[in-house]
Amino acid sequence: MHTENNMVNTQLFQTLKGQLLPQATALNQAGAPAYALSPQHQLAQIAATGCLSQTFYADAQSQLDAVQALAAQVEPAFVAQTAVYARQAAFMKDMPVLLASLLAVRDVNLLSQVFGRAVDNGKTLRGFVQMLRSGALGRKSLGSRPKKLVQQWLLNASEKQLLNAAVGNTPSLADVVKMVHPKPTEAWRAAWFAWLISKPFDEAALPPATQAFERFKRALAQGEVTVVPDVPFQMLTALALQPAHWAQIARAGSWQMVRQNLNTFARHGVFEQPGMTEVVAAKLRDPVAVAKARVFPYQLMAAFKASGEGVPAAVREALQDAMEAALVNVPALEGQVVVCPDVSGSMGSAVTGHRAGATSSVRCIDVAALVAAAVLRKNPQARVLPFERDVVKLSLNPRDSVMTNAQALAAIGGGGTNCSAPLALLNQERAKVDLVVLVSDNESWVDARRGGATQTLIEWGKLKQRCPQARLVCVDIQPGSTTQAVERADILNVGGFSDAVFTMLAQFAKGNAGADHWVGEIQKVSLAQQYSDECVVAWRMPVGLHPNCLVSPLVCRHAGAVERKIFLREC
């Protein structure tokens, strides 16, 4: 006779030690269990680091769809705060403009409050117009308030800002001017707009740099040697410039412009001009210039990797010096630090995504390696555990340059993604750990489980039993909607690859930042409007106003719309 076994299967129902681990709540883009981030956190990470281009796991359209869906799930005020943060703190370009464009559809009053901070130069202005008129966001026209904001930018921009804005198409600045019909009150601005859209203009009325550009073109056509005008160099590239002209451009160029155009300078003989190699190298390694340029470490890596044979060794070495200067934010961390860069196959995709004609030479694996090498440089006792399916053995010298160690790590590459592998190794070794920094695309699948918590969180739970004060930072190079380690007091999820990551890492390691740090920083952004839109126009207008208008906007700040209009008419 069959007797039922009433014993519980102890393999399935083991008594767990330590903190109860939550079950995975979602699937990542590799189809493996993960934890869903909140809509606010997802939007924060994508906005501060997203590229709106095709990545290994997501195409550009899906990223755009994700941003739109997330923006619809959070309050408009958070969208506005995120737009400002993404531009002013994370130094993003496309994403702040996209969020501002979404506000144009959803809440034009909030758009007015943050427009000048999210759309702060000609390139972002043109992007704003393009996004709104594309139809991708639910409309194909600017609308009255956005049109007015664009007009205000055009009527208050300096000549230099306008010239910079005139570089680029789709749409061109001329297209924007024809679209919104700004009504300038200054003679120079009226002449400049006419010059821009190829209408008859009075050259004598043009502002200085534009006048100099017109004179330069005539002199060049006549074979005369003259000084290069102070205009964006892209306006000059179609002209028959000599190497001496290009050398002038390199001398006068901004730090970022020079960094981006080393191969261009090489092609046009700049480094063959006496002393120019030394001039360019000195500019690139200048720590003050590096700090002022707000350069990302990965941008220096991009320049280093992209520089061709025509770029002198002295200039390439200056880029390595600049890298050291750019990493001043890397913290010296206390205790036993372990950095785990993901070197799996998916990390071989371009960090800024794939886009025709604009794909970065820097891959996700390069950035992961850069973070690891930078932490090792500042913390020589740190361990570096590169991983794919398993931890890869590699010995690094902390005294080597960041670029050298980053290249050694990035040279590994290949294999599947197993984010729990370095934690499992630390547990096998029963290693004492204070801080683990995991740098990955977070798409772990080799260690996928059928149910319960992710293997990464399980291994972290085991480590915490030995090291109760340990903290885990998961840096997601191409942030998506999920993570392998759910946020809590000892786990911080950070999206992106800017040097702001190092600041967050230091604060979290010291216990000065909570798991919601990313969202918390965005929520600190003030949306307070110092002046009304109408008063800003009056306050900035240089001529034709009563002097009281320079003070009165502070008075009418809280006035209603009708009172503001009366106030301006009386002025």
| Rounded Cα gap, residues 324 and 297, in angstroms | 9
| Rounded Cα gap, residues 338 and 409, in angstroms | 15
- The DSSP bridge pattern shows strands 337-341 and 33-36 to be unpaired
User: Three-state SS for 453?
Assistant: coil
Q: What is the per-residue pLDDT across 537-567, written as a single tens digit (0 to 9) for each? A: 333 333 333 333 333 333 333 333 333 332 3
Of 8-17, 241-250, 270-279, the poorest mean pLDDT is in 8-17
Band (30; pLDDT cuts 50, 70, 90): confident
Concatenating the DSSP letter of every residue in 112-139 gives: HHHHHHHS-SHHHHHHHHHHHHTSTTS-
Return left, alpha or beta for 285; rule: phi > 0 is left, psi -120 to 50 is alpha, else beta.
alpha
* pLDDT at residue 190, as a whole number: 97
DSSP H helices in 392-532: 402-410, 421-429, 455-466, 500-509, 517-523
* pLDDT at residue 315, as a whole number: 96
* pLDDT at residue 137, as a whole number: 87
Cβ atoms of 424 and 432 closer than 8 Å: no
Return the ∠ at Cα 217 (arms to 216 and 222), rounded to 5°.
Answer: 95
Cβ atoms of 470 and 490 closer than 8 Å: yes
* pLDDT at residue 485, as a whole number: 83
pLDDT (mean) for 255-284: 95
Token pair recorded at residue 154 = 């055009």
| Rounded Cα gap, residues 150 and 360, in angstroms | 31
| Rounded Cα gap, residues 381 and 64, in angstroms | 42
* pLDDT at residue 48, as a whole number: 64
* pLDDT at residue 299, as a whole number: 79
Q: What is the per-residue pLDDT across 485-497, written as a single tens digit (0 to 9) for each? A: 887 888 888 776 6
Residues 6+ apart with CB under 8 A from 43: 67, 70, 71, 74, 78, 79, 82
Spell out a b/e string for 182-206, using b for 16 or more CB atoms within 10 Å of the CB, else e. beeeeebbbbbbbbbeeeebeeebb
Concatenating the DSSP letter of every residue in 11-54 gives: TTSPPPPSSPPPPP-EE-TTS-EEEEPPHHHHHHHHHHH--SSB
| Rounded Cα gap, residues 148 and 155, in angstroms | 10
Please state, in angstroms and as integers, the Cα–Cα distance from residue 191 to each residue in 188, 196, 208, following that order. 5, 9, 12
Which run of H or E residues covers position 337?
strand 337-341
- Cα distance from N-terminal residue to C-terminal residue, the chain: 103
pLDDT at 480 over 90: no
| Rounded Cα gap, residues 439 and 538, in angstroms | 50
User: Three-state SS for 94?
Assistant: helix
* pLDDT at residue 93, as a whole number: 81
Cβ atoms of 259 and 297 closer than 8 Å: no
Return the ∠ at Cα 34 (arms to 338 and 440), rounded to 5°.
Answer: 35
Phi (first) and psi of residue 413, to 5 degrees: 65, 145
* pLDDT at residue 140, as a whole number: 85
Single-letter code of the amino acid located at 412: I
pTM for this prediction = 0.73
| CB-based contacts of 163-166 (< 8 A; 24+ apart in sequence) | 163/209, 163/210, 163/231, 163/232, 163/235, 164/121, 164/122, 164/123, 164/232, 165/121, 165/122, 165/123, 165/125, 165/126, 166/122, 166/196, 166/232, 166/235
Percent over 70 (pLDDT), the chain: 82
Q: What is the per-residue pLDDT across 92-118, written as a single tens digit (0 to 9) for each? A: 788 899 999 999 999 999 999 999 999
Cβ atoms of 556 and 564 closer than 8 Å: yes
Find which of 18-27, 66-75, 235-244, 268-277 is predicted with most confidence, using mean pLDDT. Answer: 268-277
Q: Bridge partners of 384?
A: 339
Single-letter code of the amino acid located at 146: P
Band (6; pLDDT cuts 50, 70, 90): low
Percent over 90 (pLDDT), the chain: 44
User: Three-state SS for 318?
Assistant: helix
Q: Bridge partners of 337?
A: 435
Band (54; pLDDT cuts 50, 70, 90): very low
Torsion, CA 254, CA 257, CA 263, CA 266, rounded to 10: -30
Query: Does residue 228 or residue 3 have the better pLDDT?
Result: 228
Token pair recorded at residue 285 = 């390694």
Q: What is the mean pLDDT of the chain?
A: 81
Please state, in angstroms and as integers, the Cα–Cα distance from residue 418 to each residue in 57, 188, 422, 423, 424, following that order. 16, 62, 9, 10, 10
Does 171 sit behind a cis peptide bond, omega within 30 degrees of 0 on the bond before it? yes
